[in-house]
Amino acid sequence: MKKIKININIYKNFFILLSEKLKLNKILIIIFSIILMFPLYRTGINVYDELQLRLCKFLGIKSFLKYHYEAVLQHQGRMPIPLVLNNYLNFFSTNQKIYKLVEIFIIISNVVLFGYLLYKVTKNKKLSFLSMIIFIAFLPMGWEPVPPNAYTGMYGISISVFLVSLIYYQSYLETENKKFLIISGITYLYSLLTYELFLFYFLLYLVMALKKDNSRLKIVYVNLKYIIIITLSYLFLYFVLRLCYPSAYDGNKLALISLKRTLNQIFFMFRSSFPGYYLFNAKYRFLFRVSNEFSQKSELFINVRIILYMILGVYFINKILKLNTKKIEIKKNIFIIIIILFLMILTLSVRVLSKTNQENPIVGPDLFIGFTNTYFTYFLAVFIISSIVSTFNNKIFKFLAMITFVIFSTSTQIMNEVISLKQEKEYKKLTDAERIFETNEIINWNEKKIFSEDLYKMGLAIGLHKNYWTEISKIKKLNIEVSNKLDNQNGIIISRNIGKREIFLLGTIDSITQDQQILTKNISIFSLNNLESKKVYFKNENNEYNYIELKNGIKDKKFYKYNINFDKTIFTNSIDIVN
């Protein structure tokens, strides 16, 4: 119970400090947090691995454990138990809104613990609050395999646990209470077992120990001894595990093919770690343009959200910059800055030097610009920027800092809004398609084969494995084989887009032409919206164009269903529905 009480006090003390010392209204803090986190709340899943986890959660705990045993232990040679816990906490509910709330809580815990750690170590409120607001306001959304877009539960929980470890280690250095050291060691070990990258962050314990007393190396060693033992024990366990389960995953194997390309990639990822970089990246400027497809209703909401963000952003950054705190002397802390920069390079080098990237480059301005590694270095980059800004106290600099913050953070929020709406739309396509397997109509296709290229094109950057829809049918208590390769199937599912939602057409395969065009005579159209009086255009077997007006739709679960029987077979790829 004591341990739980201490953990709660970490949050409690910090929020008391935030609300009382700065005299900020707690309601405004909550509103500001909601405004910042709403784009994340609306999105779905953006990477294949998390889609697999969601699918395994649908299939049950045995499937969830089997996935981690095969993918983590056997394939990667890594300890699966901590990752099972992290992922299960993230996906304890398959309801999108619930697991998004869990992810938001994880991100907020990252931010709060990061700010509290900086305050506890430096006793500088400005540095602490400045780091928090920069971190959360510039946190980018996109399609990169990095939190908050992906792996938020898998690694975000571990980062919070690691930050708790550093906080308790600082408490130990201040009080020499062994209880704090034990908690720090246990949480450090948990972090190591989830991701070997935490091994490099032993350097932070070293920096904290040296900051406490760098005059006597013996004292530094005594303060670090427990952490050193845990680090060496983990290394021993890591290599024993790799001997027992050799990794078949090239992502955790090192290689070097081109030194010049490697250095360029490290420098590139170093830049992409800093807040605001996505605004200047050509790939994301392009994605912003192609994703910018709002309705008047969504534009109104975005304008309100952005205006509220700007008002509260100015309020908070102004309050923080006006704080009268002890000035940080960069010259006296140059050693810490050097260690942080070295740690950033070390963290990024591991990703760039992976065999996966060396043999088939995946890092670059037009490729991936962020990985889990860059979420780690984002913390460090935010600390460097906040440390520099905190050193200046003149009014002109504060004004320029506030204007810079508002302009670029607002631009980041606009980009996040646009991208999150695109991600929401793409994820809804996927979940809408899954609902087809809940309809009464699909029961007629049990024990049959269905062909569908369209279903396997969903998910944007997610990517779907070849048995995904077959497994979805099993989850729905059916046995339907769904493939994107023509192979004597009985039916076909195609999709068409009308407005914001996807329309699905399920039809029989009556014949196939020599050039692999499919003809059907019967289709059922499924739409979540009423399509009464909408026109379906098509081309028949005689290459004649015609249309049918939709009438007499019936409800089938959540869908409106329209059954059509054509006089002649029609080409499925010619079907179009006009809004």
DSSP string covering 15-74, please? HHIIIIIS---HHHHHHHHHHHHHHHHH----SHHHHHHHHHHHH-HHHHHHHHIIIIII
In the prediction, which pLDDT does 461 show? 57
In the prediction, which pLDDT does 14 show? 55
In the prediction, which pLDDT does 539 show? 93
The answer to whether 98 and 149 have CB atoms below 8 angstroms apart is no
In the prediction, which pLDDT does 498 show? 79
Spatial strand order of the sheet with 535-539 comes to: 545-549, 535-539, 576-578
In the prediction, which pLDDT does 221 show? 85
Q: Which two tokens stand for residue 180?
A: 């704090």
Pairing of the two strands 511-512 and 535-539: unpaired
In the prediction, which pLDDT does 81 show? 85
Query: What whole-number distance in Å separates Cα of residue 51 and Cα of residue 468?
Result: 10
In the prediction, which pLDDT does 295 show? 44
Pairing of the two strands 518-527 and 559-571: antiparallel
Q: What is the pTM of this model?
A: 0.89
Query: What whole-number distance in Å separates Cα of residue 7 and Cα of residue 574?
Result: 61
DSSP string, 350-383: HHHTBHHHHHS--BSTTSB---HHHHHHHHHHHH
Task: Pick the closest to residue 17 from 29, 4, 31 (CA basis).
Answer: 29
Residues of the chain with pLDDT under 50: 1-6, 295-297
In the prediction, which pLDDT does 309 show? 93
Query: What whole-number distance in Å separates Cα of residue 468 and Cα of residue 483?
Result: 9
Residue type, 23: K
SS3 state at 546: strand
In the prediction, which pLDDT does 18 show? 54
Query: What whole-number distance in Å separates Cα of residue 292 and Cα of residue 300?
Result: 14
Query: What whole-number distance in Å separates Cα of residue 433 and Cα of residue 423?
Result: 16
In the prediction, which pLDDT does 91 show? 85
